[in-house]
Chains A and B, each alone.
Chain A
Amino acid sequence: MSHADATPAVERVEQNEHQGAPASRPLEIVFGVVSLSFSAGYLFLATQIPLRREALPGQIDARFWPMVIAVTAVVVSLAILAIAITRPAPDREDLDRIQPGGTMRVIATLAIAGAFIAVWSLGSVILFGYRIEVFPIAAAVLMAALLLLYGHRRWLSLIIYSVSVTAFVYVVFGMLLRIPL
């Protein structure tokens, strides 16, 4: 192999290979700011903890331990922020790179799960004079929606899988473990 085609080979290998997430200074700074504001918020709330009575001498009150944690967290967050601003961003090669469509998959999953929980919270509905339990229907629809979202396109296996998982959950948890689904 000549030297000229050695580089494309490396490139090709890299495309097929594990791709690390890119290092990013802005991201590190944002993380520093978020952790600092979270710690500061926690510190503020810790000073506001309502005490029903004064602590006895030598006893620590309900504020002491949260304050210790909060002050340490503020110091650590400041250090993280300072490092993020002054030093080059750390290598993130251990993490896989986010793939196109990945973020959408997560958001859609959350939305579907949220809708499922909202519908499930209804418990049961009265329809045409019958009391219908929502859970089995909602769970089967949840499974089918997720399978579709993740790219499953064969209808028969989609229905079989959704129905059988739902039936399994319903029998094991609803009937055997007697969890009020």
Chain B
Amino acid sequence: MEGLNSLLDISILLYMLVGLLLGFMVGAFPGITATMAVALAAGFTLTLEPVQGLAVLLTIYVAANFGDRVPSILINTPGTPASIATTLDGYPMAKQGRAGLALTISAIVSAVGILASLVLFAVAAVPIASFARDYFKSPELFALVVFGISIMIGISSKSMLKGILAGLFGLMLGTVGTYAATADQRFTFGVLELVEGVNFIAVIIGLFGIAELFDQLLTYRKSHVRPISSLGRWWPNRAELKQSGRATAVGGAVGLGVGLIPAAGGDIAGLIGWERARKASKHPEMFGKGSIEGVAASDTASSATLGGSLTTTMALGIPGDSVMAVMIGSMIIWGITPGPTLFTNRPDLVVSIVGIMLVATLLSLGLSLVRMKGMVRLLDVPQPYLWSGILIFCIIGTYATSNSLSTVVTMLVFGVIGVLLKRMQVPAGPIVLGLLLGPLAEENLARTLAILPTRPFFEVVSPIAIVLLALAVLSIVMPAIRAARTPRAERGSLEDSILDAESREQIEKAHGELAADPDLLTSTVRNVDTSARAARKARKNSKENEK
């Protein structure tokens, strides 16, 4: 009840509206990820009450998940990585003049996915937290942190070594400051600002905001991308709804499962959901050519990860995806530490969170269905406005966390480090996780080592800890082995590493057919992406054959 009461404040609704607009906009602008938006908003929400702050951040998280489908469908460019799979069928639908239908279906199934995942969160969060509180002592907590970081490395890195290095770099950053157990100072170099550690918000805004901005500045090319403006019919008819039912169910199941894996987010779930739905469909041959089932499956799957991510984040303190890593950072600053004890101390928060997410989902759904025509115009905002706006808000947002310019300088430094690492394909996720969880790992390792000599090994280190550590090793070793077994020429993007060969072939073929059909609407020069890549690969192969 207390949790619900705290939502009845009118200010909460206002903060949610701000979050809704922001979330929708960042979702719709390609190149601004939800992580970047939440990192930026974290700077501004520090002065708020926790529930008010959560209202802003969670609403951005939800609304971005709706907004990012718009550019996927209309210009074949995902607004955030979570909607990669939406481009597979959403864009072909738009080319066939069915963009309105794709947008509507996408909004409806996203809402279904999030609502289903909220049920999961409401049901599972407290039991998981209680289980963890009762059975997770220092060894298990240490193992859990290692597991969380390893999963993030395994999922986000192309080269496992670079991913591990990123995680270690984050752990190194986490050691800067005062060591809690003995009050010794480490790596502070006599600088007062470093005694309390590296400013977390400055690091995340640097790595996810400034670094992304710099990367766009480096690689931006003027392209004559025009969103498809003929949107066609909006409402699905009964047959279409019925047709997408099965795909929605399959996608939802995939998303709920993937969401519970720490660090695995909507991008992966969307692709897996699309593939599973294709296998379960009565018309698998239509996938990739503008199948309404494809859109339904990928969007349900990627949206259904939200509740799972929230569950691992809040109940275990291990972020479910990179947005959640940022969220944990803000929550710690508000004085709430996500983890097993959170819900036993503040059970009202579960209710508040579910309430915020529920209202945010319904508001986003409403906004998606009503304002889509306006959203299309957002895609036309010139880059100079966007870039200069991002920069000044990154600067002010960081400054607001500490009222000190040194924090702003830290942020810019991490922006430069971030873009250099990005160019070297070193992922930023493990860095943030290492920084965030490093002190927790150290503390629990210290306690474990302290009790270890006094009692038999297996009494201290339970099977839970051993299983978690084994899973941690597997999560890094398995992708590495799989990568080593794939021929070099076939290693490619995220899409290629998740989808199997048959699906990739079907997508390429479908895109080729679409590109060859002159009667379709056109918007962009990026429409035959995969087939161009295939052509390049073919040429590469033929060159190797000549040798």
B396 to chain A, nearest CB (A): 6
Q: Is the CB of B391 within 8 A of A113?
A: yes
Q: What DSSP secondary structure best describes chain A's contact surface?
A: helix
Q: Is the CB of B425 within 8 A of A52?
A: no
> A36-62, CB under 8 A of B: which get 1 and which 0?
000100100100011111010011111
Q: What DSSP secondary structure best describes chain B's contact surface?
A: helix
Q: Is the CB of A18 within 8 A of B529?
A: yes
Chain A residues whose C-beta falls within 8 Å of the C-beta of B182 in the assembled complex: 51-53, 55, 61-62
Residue of A nearest to B539 (CB): A10
B492 to chain A, nearest CB (A): 6
Residue of A nearest to B525 (CB): A16
Residue of B nearest to A7 (CB): B539
What interface size band does chain A fall in? 35 or more
Within 8 A of A (CB), among B147-185: 158-159, 161-162, 164-165, 168-169, 171-172, 175, 179, 181-185
Which of A17, A39, A79, A146 lies in contact with B529, CB distance below 8 A? A17
Q: Is the CB of A65 within 8 A of B492?
A: no
Within 8 A of B (CB), among A79-95: 79-80, 83, 88, 90-95
Chain B residues whose C-beta falls within 8 Å of the C-beta of A65 in the assembled complex: 175, 441-442, 445-446
Q: Is the CB of B492 within 8 A of A146?
A: no
Q: Is the CB of A180 within 8 A of B403?
A: yes
Chain B residues whose C-beta falls within 8 Å of the C-beta of A59 in the assembled complex: 181, 446, 449-450
Q: Is the CB of A80 within 8 A of B387?
A: no
CA A110 to CA B420, docked complex, whole Å: 14
Total of A-B residue pairs, C-beta within 8 Å:
193
B346 part of interface (Cβ distance < 8 Å)? no
Within 8 A of A (CB), among B404-439: 405, 408-409, 412, 416, 419, 422-425
Chain B residues whose C-beta falls within 8 Å of the C-beta of A70 in the assembled complex: 172
Within 8 A of A (CB), among B509-547: 525-526, 528-529, 532-533, 535-536, 539
CA A16 to CA B516, docked complex, whole Å: 16
Chain A residues whose C-beta falls within 8 Å of the C-beta of B44 in the assembled complex: 173, 177
Question: What are 22 A-to-B residue pairs whose CB atoms are below 8 Å?
Answer: A18-B529, A39-B168, A55-B182, A60-B445, A60-B446, A62-B179, A73-B168, A73-B172, A76-B165, A79-B161, A93-B533, A94-B425, A97-B219, A99-B218, A99-B221, A105-B217, A106-B218, A109-B217, A109-B391, A110-B416, A146-B388, A173-B44
Question: Given A14-B535, A93-B493, A143-B388, 20 more contacts at CB 8 Å?
Answer: A17-B526, A18-B533, A45-B187, A58-B449, A65-B446, A69-B168, A69-B175, A76-B165, A76-B168, A79-B161, A93-B533, A94-B492, A96-B215, A99-B218, A99-B219, A99-B221, A150-B384, A161-B385, A169-B392, A177-B44
- Residues of A whose CB lies within 8 Å of any CB of B are 10, 13-14, 16-18, 21, 27-28, 31, 35, 39, 42, 45, 49-53, 55, 58-62, 64-66, 69-70, 72-73, 76-77, 79-80, 83, 88, 90-99, 102-103, 105-106, 109-110, 113-114, 116-117, 120-121, 139, 142-143, 146-147, 150-152, 161, 165, 169, 173, 177, 179-181
